[in-house]
Structure 1
């Protein structure tokens, strides 16, 4: 029997020298998301389904929460993993603190968990590079 205690999450937090409005664009506009995350048909509308696509396969997702320039949450489901990714944007003196939490890794999903632990910091690096190029 699985209890909530068995479910793990991956959290990445980073302060970025960009305003929340700029980060929001990179988190919600498909042509920008494709640069740092994956190809998608994302639209920031609660209840809307969308797909992320990569060489290794696809994820079926649904938008759960949209609070412009503050928070964004969506399901992240694929290859047996059912999880939720939540982004939180907090203005700081130097820019914006961006927090990503992916919740839903079961004990038997060690490979997916390790993949997320390794992958999200790389996605953040790509996001910073995309933001640096944005006007």
Structure 2
């Protein structure tokens, strides 16, 4: 592996969400809410829990919960295996919630894109914008 290939890139998307961290945390950790903004899943907010995210496009992401700090930090692996190993993705998604006067500052970071994975990196940049727009719609619905 060349040195440049060992360096990875990170997608970061930040949003100001007009809801308290507790409400945002529910949307990030309850399976029926995750499905409404992200993908079908069998998520549980328990460190070490392995789960799948199933995309409408037919792909399955293999994930494992890495960090659970209620109302503050959630991270999990986000791994995609492809028949062409060049498209395999091993990454980590981290959500960081910071209370603000108007609600919550949400920071989503997906780390682990190899330099050769320009298409996956670009797809993640666009994809997370759409996922987080969906998340804001879910949060806006009455409970």
The TM-score with structure 2 as length reference comes to 0.91
**Contact map agreement 2:42 2:53 (CA 8 A) in 1:** yes
d(CA) in 1 for partners of 2:36 and 2:64?
20
Deviations for 1:55-114, whole angstroms, at most 9, x for unmatched residues? Answer: 221000000000000000000000300000000000000000000000000011111000
Which residue of 1 is the match for residue 18 of structure 2?
17
d(CA) in 1 for partners of 2:119 and 2:7?
15
Which residue of 2 is the match for residue 48 of structure 1?
49
Match runs of 1:1-135 below 5 Å = 1-2=2-3, 6-56=7-57, 57-79=59-81, 80-135=88-143
**Contact map agreement 2:98 2:104 (CA 8 A) in 1:** yes
d(CA) in 1 for partners of 2:49 and 2:35?
18
Which residue of 1 is the match for residue 84 of structure 2?
none
- Point out where structure 1 has 5 or more consecutive residues left out of the alignment: none
Name the Cα RMSD after superposition: 1.3
SS at match of 2:46: coil
Do the aligned partners of residues 67 and 3 (structure 1) sit closer, same or farther apart at CA in structure 2, a change above 3 Å counting? farther
Please state how far the C-alpha of 1:3 moved relative to its aligned partner.
5.4
Please state how far the C-alpha of 1:32 moved relative to its aligned partner.
0.3
d(CA) in 2 for partners of 1:134 and 1:105?
37
d(CA) in 1 for partners of 2:127 and 2:68?
24
